[in-house]
Amino acid sequence: MADELKKIAFLVASEGIEQVELTDPWAHLEKAGAQPRLLAPKLGQVRGFHHLDPADAFDVDVPFAHADPADYDAVVLPGGVANADFLRLDKDAVAFVKAHVAAGKPIAAICHGPWLLVEADVVRGKRVTSFPSLRTDLRNAGADWADEEVRVCDAHGWTLVTSRNPDDLAAFDEAATTAFGL
């Protein structure tokens, strides 16, 4: 149906989410006409952080184990060191990303968000950026890493948008919106 809103899955852990990397793209995509949905390990609430300081709580829409990647048009992976580290250990989150990539759907990841892509083994041959501490992990996983505001890679059947940190959110939001066809 042409009038149906595109559903965007925001994958997060239960805590440690860099709040602005969740709320800013969420608002931008919503304004562009998308329907963001918050996916996490379980129903309830997740906790955002302003770097290391606890911030707001957000209601989870769907737990990973009950989420069908086919129901979503795109994925956003917000950063936060703890968030990304917890996510890469969640087998359902990894499986969701693998299925999404296999379907050729776009993903946007910021800051530490690409750690989940490393775990899913989907960055080989992709042009990426991230928070600098992930550089070696991404290169070891076969990615072409560079310290840039935003990188967009259309290769291997799907589009990947990556950015370094909250300072890059304006460029990240615009690139994700375009990649998601909004």
Classify residue 68: in a domain, yes or no.
Answer: yes
8, 101, 111, 160: the catalytic one is: 111
153 catalytically annotated: no
pLDDT tens figures, 113-134: 999 999 999 999 999 999 999 9
Does residue 163 lie within any of the structural domains?
A: yes
Asked if residue 102 is part of any domain, the answer here is yes
Question: Domain of 24: which CATH number?
Answer: 3.40.50.880
Instruction: Determine the structural domain holding residue 10 and report its residue range.
Output: 6-179
| 104 assigned to some structural domain | yes
- Could you tell me if residue 118 is inside a domain? yes
Q: Rounded to an integer, what distance in angstroms lies between the CA atom of residue 63 and that of residue 169?
A: 26
Instruction: Tell me the whole-structure pTM to 2 decimals.
Output: 0.97
- The answer as to whether 1 is a domain residue is no
Query: pLDDT of 34-73, one tens digit each?
Result: 999 999 999 999 999 999 999 999 999 999 999 999 999 9
Domain count, the chain: 1
